[in-house]
């Protein structure tokens, strides 16, 4: 969906992972994220994908794969911030695809919010988030194929990710300060 993420989102934090796999399904995204987070103990992970395998896997398997991956990441990596980007709409697809996509995103968001609540119980855990792009990507930000984003769409999507990065950086600094103050 996003061809040139790296030119829009500069990963200043060397500990962070940015995986961009154009044309791949959720199985490939999850596999690559798991590979990339090996050895990472703090930083951030942004997961985006799933549209290419959505019809085949359906909402239940797609959500299951994402949540299993999130649990694996967070199990031993409390200082890794993770964002799951909702599956993006595709203006060229029919109403059936859109219904599956919305159902999947609704379920993903519910599960991520549940996990976020669990993470928030531990002041040393930097948590998980769900990034919903539906309102940010009107039809005119898609290429002529009505699947991939054009330059303007890529910038909007990456702008949302940068908003999340900045917001979570502030929250992590506050949490770190609270943990330090509590230990003194």
Domain spans in the chain, listed from the N-terminal domain onward = 5-183
**How far is the C-alpha of 143 from the C-alpha of 37, rounded, in Å?**
32
Size (the chain), residues: 184
pTM assigned to the model: 0.83
Note the CATH number of domain 5-183.
3.40.50.1110
Residue with token string 């109403």 = 95
Digits of tens for pLDDT over the chain (184 positions)?
A: 344 444 444 444 546 666 666 678 888 889 988 888 888 888 888 888 888 899 999 999 999 999 999 999 999 888 899 999 999 888 888 899 999 999 999 999 999 999 999 998 988 888 899 999 998 899 999 999 998 889 999 899 989 988 988 888 888 777 777 767 777 7
**How far is the C-alpha of 149 from the C-alpha of 90, rounded, in Å?**
10
């Amino acid at each position: 969906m996003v061809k040139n993420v790296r030119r829009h989102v500069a990963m200043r934090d060397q500990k962070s992972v940015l995986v961009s796999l154009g044309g791949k399904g959720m199985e490939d995204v999850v596999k690559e994220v798991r590979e990339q987070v090996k050895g990472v103990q703090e930083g951030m992970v942004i997961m985006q994908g799933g549209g290419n395998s959505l019809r085949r896997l359906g909402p239940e398997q797609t959500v299951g794969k994402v949540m299993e991956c999130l649990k694996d990441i967070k199990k031993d990596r409390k200082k890794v911030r993770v964002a799951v980007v909702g599956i993006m709409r595709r203006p060229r697809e029919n109403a059936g695809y859109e219904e599956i996509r919305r159902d999947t995103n609704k379920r993903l968001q519910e599960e991520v919010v549940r996990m976020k609540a669990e993470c928030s119980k531990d002041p040393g855990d930097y948590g998980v988030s769900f990034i919903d792009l539906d309102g940010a990507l009107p039809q005119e930000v898609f290429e002529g194929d009505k699947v991939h984003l054009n330059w303007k769409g890529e910038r909007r999507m990456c702008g949302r990710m940068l908003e999340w990065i900045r917001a979570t950086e502030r929250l992590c600094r506050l949490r770190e300060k609270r943990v330090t103050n509590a230990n003194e």
